[in-house]
Structure 1
Amino acid sequence: MAGHSKWANIKHRKERQDAKKGKIFTKWIRELTVAARQGGGDPGSNPRLRLALDKALGANMTRDTIDRAVARGVGASDGDDVEELGYEGYGPGGVAIMVETMTDNRNRTAAAVRHAFTKCGGNLGTDGSVAYLFDRKGQISFAADVDEDSLIEAAMEADADDVVTNDDGSIDVFTSFSGFYAVRNALEAAGFKASDAEIVMLPTTSAVLDLETAEKVLKLIDMLEDLDDVQNVYSNAEIPDDVMEQLG
């Protein structure tokens, strides 16, 4: 059940990028608003809102800011509607890329995403053009000091799909999309405190990149992630460790 994560190097690089950019608050304010609009303002009965709340608090967002975002979602505050939109396309080297956005102006967002693809040697595709290359999964992450055997046993009992041990000793538990919250709650009840938990798009196939192509693909991903309306960017790029070391 346990294995090696080919995507860990890209994930860890993305975490560094996220920390460097000032997008975290904007990202979680939008997620809080949309989650509250779709499922109500009570995190006890709205798992998506609870997850967003945990993320916002983890980013040191004030309770005041959180409450305003939730109030906007349930209609207690004026403001333009925010909608979720997805974009798909191919980057350099034929890398498949999925872009998740939240926006109050779909024309602005579409133009910005298209510009990024074009400028970096990619092509924005139509709906479904690359989505079939990804599966929507739950990913629950644990620090390296967790008891691996006990966690694997608890994950299996909770009907997790897979458990992956990364090179740094950290562990990712993967779940079905529908089973994410149940597995997360079961592991929490068993005494395992996650360092992170989120819904992700995992590629079913990979495109192994050389240094030149990796530089181009990462430039495109960085440009997309820098857009204000972009929440998440996923790709099926696999960057070998030696290439990642050269990238720095």
Structure 2
Amino acid sequence: MAGHSKWANTRHRKAAQDAKRGKIFTKIIRELVTAAKLGGGDPDANPRLRAAVDKALANNMTRDTLNRAIARGVGGDDDANMETIIYEGYGPGGTAIMIECLSDNRNRTVAEVRHAFSKCGGNLGTDGSVAYLFSKKGVISFEKGDEDTIMEAALEAGAEDVVTYDDGAIDVYTAWEEMGKVRDALEAAGLKADSAEVSMIPSTKADMDAETAPKLLRLIDMLEDCDDVQEVYHNGEISDEVAATLE
């Protein structure tokens, strides 16, 4: 399969993301604690924890910090009493947006999410309004690589699909629970991925133009600035040409 690479859609936001690293660490620790509380402290037996561990390591979190967070969850730390809440809505240009939160106060969280939508020309929707457009998957990404080699190893390890983009980037899609196993198999074959994450993959895309793209990015930034928001997923597609105007 071929298509437009997601790398073009994230490249120009890297500096802003790097500036948020402290907040990102706090959110990852919260997810580690919650995942360990709900499913146990063994990443091999707890897919949610394995995904959180992979994300922590990808963001250069130390093993010591990571292990302390897991221990807190297994020990019943108060942070582990938070609940996962999913909000859905529509952003600029008709984009479908899903927001994954961890919160101990639903009223506070929904107020912050609703405020971000209202400031950026979007609308918070009802449960199910856009969820049907997304599927939860594991995504193992290579910026460059040999398509045949990666495809053979990935499919043999149980991957569901392998997508090659116009710029040479490759995404391996898995059932989200199987992402760690497939990634381990790829590494055993000498294929080290640039990133691996559990994500909500949209079935359709909404093309962003020079007017709607910056509005969408502003909304995403505002949502990610909310302490209770863990992840923001959307189906907005920003072309290389539009992305170049944002840099």
**Does TM, normalized by the shorter one, top 0.5?**
yes
Residues of 1 paired with 2:169 and 2:215: CA distance? 29
Secondary structure, counterpart of 1:12 in structure 2: helix
Aligned twin of 2:6: 7
Structure 1 position 20 matched with structure 2 position 19:
yes
Give the C-alpha shift of residue 117 in structure 1. Answer: 0.5
Q: Residue 127 of structure 1: SS of its match in structure 2?
A: coil
Q: Per-residue deviation at 1:13?
A: 3.9
Match of 1:154 in 2: 153
Listed as ranges, the matches of 1:1-248 within 5 Å are 2-21=1-20, 22-79=22-79, 81-144=81-144, 146-248=145-247
**2: CA distance, partners of 1:241 / 1:79:** 41
SS across alignment from 1:10: helix
TM-score, normalization by structure 2: 0.89
Match of 2:54, SS? helix
- Cα deviation, 1:111-139, whole Å, max 9, x if unaligned, reads 10011001111110111000111111110
In structure 2, give the amino acid aligned to 1:217: L
Greater Cα offset, 48-57 or 213-222: 48-57
Please say if residues 8 and 240 of structure 2, whose CA atoms lie closer than 8 Å, have aligned partners that are also in contact: yes
Would the alpha carbon gap of residues 126 and 174 (structure 1) be closer, same or farther in structure 2, given more than 3 Å must change?
same
CA distance in 1, matches of 2:47, 2:80: 24
**Cα distance change of structure 1 residues 135 and 78 upon mapping to structure 2, 3 Å threshold:** closer
Taking structure 1 as the reference length, what is the TM-score of the superposition? 0.89
Q: Equivalents in 2 of 1:143, 1:120: separation in Å? A: 32
Distance 1:211 1:232, change over 3 A: same
Distance 1:127 1:198, change over 3 A: same
Q: How many Å separate the matches in 1 of 2:54 and 2:234?
A: 26
One-letter amino acid matched to 1:88? E
Larger deviation: 196-205 or 39-48?
39-48
The Cα of 1:237 is off from its aligned counterpart by: 0.8
Q: For the residues of structure 2 that align with 1:217 and 1:54, how far apart are their CA atoms?
A: 27
In structure 2, how many angstroms separate the alpha carbons of the residues matched to 1:195 and 1:205? 25
| Bigger fraction of residues in helix | 2
Deviation at 1:141, TM superposition (A): 1.3
For 2:191 and 2:92, the matched residues in 1 are separated by 40
What is the rounded CA distance, in whole Å, between the counterparts of 2:138 and 2:244 in structure 1?
28
Tell me the SS of whatever aligns to 1:135.
strand
Amino acid at match of 1:105: N
SS at match of 2:211: helix
Structure 1: gaps (5+ residues): none
Aligned length: 246
Shift of 1:243: 1.0
Q: Which runs of 5+ in 2 are unaligned?
A: none
Aligned CA distance change for structure 1 residues 76 and 3 (closer, same or farther; 3 Å): same
User: 70-79 or 131-140: which moved more?
Assistant: 70-79
Contact 1:5 1:164 in 2 (8 A): no
Q: Deviations over 1:185-232 (max 9, x none)?
A: 332332322221111111111111221111211111111111111111
Q: Which AA in structure 2 matches 1:169? A: G
| Structure 1 CA distance for aligned equivalents of residues 78 and 34 of structure 2 | 14
